[in-house]
Amino acid sequence: MRGRLALLVAAVSVLILTAFLVPLALLVRTVAADRATVRATADAQRLVPVVGTADLDTIRQTVEQLAAEGRPVSVFLPDGTVLGAPAPRTPAVALATRGQSLTAASDDGREVVIAVQGRPDGTGVIRTLVSRSELTAGVTRAWLVLALLGVLLVLVGLVVADRLARTLVRPITELSAVSHRLANAELDARVTPAGPAELREVAGALNHLAGRIQVLLRDEREQVADLSHRLRTPLTALRLEAESLRDPDDAARLTAAADGLERAVTGLIRQARWRSSAPDGRAGCDAATVVRERVAFWSVLAEDTGRTVTLDLAPGPLPVAVPEDELAAAVDALLGNVFAHTPDGSPFTVRLVPDAAQVALTVADSGPGMPAGPLGRGASHAGSTGLGLDIADRAARTSGGQLELHAGSGGGAVVLLRLGPPRP
């Protein structure tokens, strides 16, 4: 855009200057020629009183004095005598002998002839020639000055156009950057209104849109969270009813259904509380500390269910670009899947090590393995809603990493969560 504006200003400036400077250059040449002609005419008219009244010797001396001053003058007397610079009797001289003074163009320049009347023997003629160099004296320099002035004006116009284009391009670039940030879920991004009134209005509309998106998402999360918490009451009642049944099979079946429903509600609450904007790269945590705390928490349940927990934790700190609460939620989701989808007594391993510029969190179990396509939200066929893996996947992606699923070499499932480092 800046280049196009500069090109437009340059083209307009050249057209305007051409329309202005070309006539001015022609005028300068005309004025220079007229000025040289007026000077020559004034020099020649100094001889008019002498030629009209003085004798031959006085006329000769005056003509020689004028020639010494740099003005070659020829005087044609009625008897045919020519005094001063030798010159042919041109048609202009012949016309002047009839009493008419004039200026005529010639091959050598401009010819000025003055008829002198009053002599007793007839009409005398004074002739001087203005050379072409004298007619154009100073014209080349004036044209050069005009050309330099034109170039300077074009350059000034380009500088002004560039500054004007910059005032237009900078707000547009900022609008584009904020739009991309909003598209990347950075809903706190705002643009500072600047530039023309139209761009300021667009900036205000974009800020208003971002604010409305934040409000709508907050309302949606609150409604989902409220709905989820309302489901807690009938869920508790269902669990109590299951525990009061006399038939162990029926009780186990209803308890399993209640457990599945509780996991779905828990995932829904976590989804509702998920931050509306992605981490900005400055909010992070120590993955080693978070993983150690969460494994210690789940180790109690593992002991109750007869599971062996192996923790392979690299010495910290291991900083990652995920807030502490979100990383804890992702770890809880992965460990919760192990307890939900593997039989009691199945051992599992949690491993956290640096991997190049990232940090790799691996959760491996000895269960029946994972069905195909469990990463899709709600696509699991093992009694899960898929929300746990979805939470872990989003935590990985927002940090610049990814979630990978593999089958264990001896059976079971291996979940690899790659987490990116905080950005400076």
Quick check: pTM over 0.95? no
> CA distances (Å), 166 to each of 5, 160, 194, 231, 257, in order?
10, 10, 12, 57, 64
Same domain for 256 and 222: yes
Rounded to the nearest integer, the mean pLDDT of the chain is: 82
Count the domains in the chain: 3
CATH number at residue 396: 3.30.565.10
- Tell me how far apart the alpha carbons of residues 413 and 125 are, in angstroms, rounded to a whole number: 123
The set of residues, in sequence order, having a beta carbon less than 8 Å from that of 26 and lying 6+ positions away, is: none
pLDDT tens-digit readout, 214-230: 888 777 777 766 666 66
Task: Give yes or no for residue 204 having a pLDDT over 70.
Answer: yes
Domain C-terminal end among 277, 302, 325: 277
**H helices present in 245-323, as ranges:** 248-273, 287-304
Query: Per-residue confidence at 152, pLDDT binned at 50, 70, 90?
Result: very high
pLDDT tens-digit readout, 299-334: 888 888 888 999 999 887 899 988 887 888 888 888
At residue 363, the pLDDT reads 92
At residue 380, the pLDDT reads 41
pLDDT tens-digit readout, 340-360: 888 888 899 999 999 888 999
Task: Give yes or no for residue 297 having a pLDDT over 70.
Answer: yes
- Tell me how far apart the alpha carbons of residues 62 and 43 are, in angstroms, rounded to a whole number: 12
Same domain for 223 and 107: no
CATH number at residue 135: 3.30.450.20
Domain holding 251, by residue range, is 184-277
Give the tokens for residue 274.
Answer: 């998920």
Task: Give yes or no for residue 211 having a pLDDT over 80.
Answer: yes
Query: Per-residue confidence at 291, pLDDT binned at 50, 70, 90?
Result: very high
Task: Give yes or no for residue 43 having a pLDDT over 70.
Answer: yes
CA angle 24–30–33, rounded 5-degree value: 145
At residue 361, the pLDDT reads 93
At residue 282, the pLDDT reads 47
pLDDT tens-digit readout, 367-384: 777 665 444 433 444 444
Query: Per-residue confidence at 27, pLDDT binned at 50, 70, 90?
Result: very high
Lateral strand order in the sheet of 402-407? 309-313, 348-355, 358-365, 413-419, 402-407
The set of residues, in sequence order, having a beta carbon less than 8 Å from that of 407 and lying 6+ positions away, is: 369, 370, 413, 414
- Tell me how far apart the alpha carbons of residues 385 and 231 are, in angstroms, rounded to a whole number: 16
Same domain for 262 and 230: yes
As a whole-number percent, the residues of the chain with pLDDT over 90 amount to: 20
Tell me if 148 is assigned to some domain. no
- How many CB atoms are closer than 10 A to CB 46? 15
pLDDT tens-digit readout, 70-128: 888 999 998 888 888 888 888 998 898 888 899 998 888 899 999 998 888 888 999 99
Task: Give yes or no for residue 68 having a pLDDT over 80.
Answer: yes
pLDDT tens-digit readout, 157-181: 888 888 888 877 888 888 888 888 8
Task: Give yes or no for residue 148 having a pLDDT over 90.
Answer: yes
Same domain for 293 and 413: yes
- How many CB atoms are closer than 10 A to CB 223? 11
| Higher pLDDT among residues 240 and 341, named by residue | 341
CB 206 within 8 A of CB 179: yes
Same domain for 393 and 298: yes
CATH number at residue 242: 1.10.287.130
Tell me if 168 is assigned to some domain. no
